[in-house]
Structure formats: C-alpha cells, structure tokens
Structure 1
C-alpha cells in the first residue's frame, strides 16, 4: 500500500477507494444490493435487518436464514446464460437486470459485505430446519470466511454431541469432501454470529502494508441449547433414518427383490448427507486484490474466531 494511504483509518480509506462499497467496484451496475437480490430471487437466503429504535436508518445487525445452495447442475441451463430479475427488484434500486450462475456464486460473498457507519454490524446466520442441502464445492471457501471453521466455538454441551453425531452420520459419496462443520451446523440448525472489519497489517515476506478484512465468528449466547443432548440426537436420527449409518444395512435388508433394493439405494443416496476427514483450519488468510494498478492497495481477508 502506498505511504499516503496508511495515514487514514482503514475503513475511511476503503470507502474512498471503493466508492462506498466493501469490495472492488469492477461494475458500477452491480452494487451490494444487486448480489443480495440474487440470493433473494433464487430463494437461497432470507434476509432480515434490524435498526436502532432511535435511528431507523442505522442497521445494527441482520439475520440470514440459508434456504438452499444451488450447484451448477441445479441452474438447469448453461451457467453463462443470464436470468432476468423481476421488475420489483430493479425498480426499487437501479442495478444490472440480469445475472448468471457466476454472479450467483459471487453473491454469496458480496451480499454479506455490508456494514454500518460505525463498522459494528454483525450477522446471525443459520440454516432452515428440516431442509436437505446439497452443497457446491465452492461453498466451502465461503464457509472459510463466514462460517465457523472450528467446532470449538460451540458450548461444551453441544461439543459433546460432535463425536456421537458422526458415529451415526452416513456419508454421501459425491459430498465426502464437504467440511464436517457444514453438515453439523446445517443438520442441527445451530446458529452463529459473524462480523468483519478493516485493519492494517504487514505482508510477512515483503513488509508491505496491507488493508485487510478481518472476519470473526462466535457462538450466539442466546441460543437455546437445552434440548441438545443425546436424547435429542437419537430423536433426530429416528426421524431421519436414512441419515444414520446403523440403519442403512437394516433398510437394505428389507428389500425382497433386486428392484426394491435398487429403489432403496437410490432413495438413500438422494437423502444422505456426508462427512469429511479434512477440516477447515481455525484461522485462514486469503489475499484478494481489489485495487487497480494505480492505487497499489491489496485487500487481505483474515479469518479469526
């Protein structure tokens, strides 16, 4: 970063360089609201915003209920083929009227890059209860920034369910690589809080000053975890028998013909979730260049618990 930039507070510098956005304004017709509307239009996320009673325009925190994640195969057409927004979206806020699957993928990152003037906004994020999720591979990268990358943020009571959950959980072949934390939070509908801010850091190799995004996740203290015990877990697998390893062989044994066996196998593969041997690290750093060659500013995303 050039010397004259480091004299300003990091969030002020970001506001000046990126035209009030929190990501590189590569297309003036695609602001943060554009990406948020993509997730709303596709039925992927339900957003709610809460304001200070004394200042109605000041958003203090927001909630995001994840309803679904679309994989390229779920797009049902070429990922480069544009879809058009209904008029209700473009008449309220003037932005680009079309979006592709690649815009949809980017929306998961940029839609959450909002903050208030005091840089103290936070998100409460959770998955919709009882929903069968099929996660695209790139969602794991999103999880590295916005999701709990470690189960250590969980209270001890829920941490104790972790090994018991994966003793029974049956993996789906095409999603074995998906982080176990993603499946744990999505199936048990545990919520978490994530917030982000700007700061200055130095490149560990060159010493060049960097403007960084710092992401922090934590457990929501008001979450009611009284029901989360071994009995709750047993009831969960009793209601969802096809998610359980122990019932898989029992179900298949019920088949009397090859046709019934094949049908049960197809149903199981369509409803099972997965586990992964590899976990996202508790902290991670990614460098994203949001500036052009004249500003020489590098944005680094730094994930912290």
Structure 2
C-alpha cells in the first residue's frame, strides 16, 4: 500500500497509521468487514483444512499470545465440490451468520487468516503426516511467504537429509513441493511471525506499507527423524505396504456383473465348501492384519516424536511463549 510518508517514521506513528488504514481483525485491505479473521478461520476449520489453537496471554486472557496450526489438507476446487472458483458451497457446520463460501474465499483464507496482531504474535506451523500431496500450485506462493527459508535449517539437514530424501521421490516441476513433501513426511515444524514496515518499494514514490515475515527453526525438533536410516525405513515401509495392498487386491479379484449373477446362482453349492472358504477367509484376514501392521509401522517409522512440555498450556515445549523477535 502506497502511503503519504516521504521519510521514515517511528513505530508508534506506524501503528497509528495501520489502525487508521484497516478494520480491527482485518489487517488487510477490504470493503467487506464480515470477511474478517473469524470468517476465514471458520472456512479452514469447517473444511478440515487446518486444526488451530490460540493460546491466551498470561497477563491478558483476552489477548492471543501465540497460535498453533496443523495443516491437514490443502484442497483443490474439485476436492471441495466447487463447480468453479466463484460458486458457493454451504458450511458443513451450521450456525455461522454467513451461509457459505467460494473457492476464492478458501484461497484467501489461507493467506489472510494468519494475519493476527503484527509485532507480538507468532504461529507454530506443522503438517499432518496424512496430508494429501495433491497440493494445488497456488499453495507454492503461500509457502514462499509463510514457509521456512533455507537459512533457518540446521546445516546438514538440507545438504544431506533432504538430498537423500529427494532420491526417493519423483522430482517436482514446482520446486517448493519437494520441500513441502519433506516437511509432511518427516514431521518438520517451524515458527513464523510477521509485522508491518515502511519501505521504498516503488521508484520515485512515497514509502510503501509492506509486510515482512520472520521464520524460525524449532530447536526441540528431533533431527534423528531425518537420519538416513529413518528416511530409508520410512520409504521401505511405504513399499511394503504397497506390496501388501497389491497382494490383497489380487486375492480378491474384481467380478463383472455377469460373474456376480453366476456367483449368486451358485450360492447354495458354495455352502458345501465351508472348510475351504474358512481357510481362504483366514488367509485374507491374515493379509489384512499384516497390512494394518505395516501401515502402523509406516505412520510410526522415523517418528520418535519430539518431547513436549508437561504444561498443557504450551504443548510445544516453551519456544512459542517467547517473543517472536527474540533470538
């Protein structure tokens, strides 16, 4: 946003300008005050895209000190049942004063819902390990602003673990997707905060109001999850699970409608082979149990979860409680 300022101003002056420029709980340009933080958060929670928790300030219970967000899924328009980006979809959860939302609203929600209180609020981001990897291309822009930068990773994580991880997956033409997949599979969280700043953004123009983002590594993350052995173990478990699924699929062949009818007609004769049938059922059940065990191994491999603080008010062990700009 281009301002009238032609020279730097103080932080109190900047905050006063921001308060004049934006509605409360809408720190972005809008002509519709109903599309505020509550509206956008409701879209993401109602669509099961995120799980979010806001933690109150210890001194002022009415103020959010920091928030956690687990990203469950980033949906394409077809996944949510939209005909096009501007068709309206009703909320699953009834009672909200706005009846529904569009896919454009959904996209905007991912960008605007995290603009809570500049200067003194931070987000703890993580992905659910079951998050679908059919991620729409526009989410790469979200990652550019809110995602971690290369500079915050521990030295060897990108040079060794990430490079080893990429050998196990098809290379993606949209470059951020490789790193997004890495965060999903290895359970890597990060911390993000933002604030307003004045900058000479346009040539021969007054100062512009811009957003600056700060990202931070979570020091309590267990880097052993990204070891060569755990990454290899993770992909071996996926391979074994796929093999079992294929084995179960072959054991239960698909039948054509005519075959189904013949099966129904022969139902009485099949009763005479109960012993053989019971043996087949036990075999299939055994394969299903093996599949369940491998899937459980998949979900828990490389997942020596980070130790968490016993304080239920801060399940992530304390770093979020500090100021977002503290080292």
TM-score normalised by structure 1 residue count: 0.71
* Contact 1:143–1:149, Cα closer than 8 Å, also in 2: no
Partner of 1:127: 127
1:199 to 172, 178, 197: 197
* Contact 1:153–1:219, Cα closer than 8 Å, also in 2: yes
Higher Rg:
2
2:182 is the counterpart of 1:177: no
1:165 partner SS: helix
* Contact 1:157–1:228, Cα closer than 8 Å, also in 2: no
Partner of 2:79: 74
Cα deviation, 1:181-206, whole Å, max 9, x if unaligned, reads 22221221200111000111112522
Partner of 1:271: none
Q: Map 1:44-193 to 2 at 5 A.
A: 44-79=49-84, 80-85=86-91, 90=96, 94=97, 96-115=98-117, 119-150=119-150, 152-159=151-158, 160-171=160-171, 176-179=173-176, 180-193=178-191
Post-superposition shift, 1:17?
Answer: 1.0
Post-superposition shift, 1:87?
Answer: 6.2
2:22 is the counterpart of 1:24: no
Task: Between 195-204 and 218-227, report the one with greater CA deviation.
Answer: 218-227
* Contact 2:49–2:72, Cα closer than 8 Å, also in 1: yes
Q: Which has the higher contact order (CA 8 A, sep 6+)?
A: 1
TM-score normalised by structure 2 residue count: 0.66
Question: d(CA) in 2 for partners of 1:241 and 1:128?
Answer: 20
Question: d(CA) in 2 for partners of 1:182 and 1:228?
Answer: 14
Distance 1:44 1:87, change over 3 A: closer
Which protein has the bigger strand share? 1
Post-superposition shift, 1:223?
Answer: 1.8
Distance 1:163 1:25, change over 3 A: same
2:46 to 36, 41, 50: 41
* Contact 2:5–2:206, Cα closer than 8 Å, also in 1: no
Question: d(CA) in 2 for partners of 1:81 and 1:204?
Answer: 36
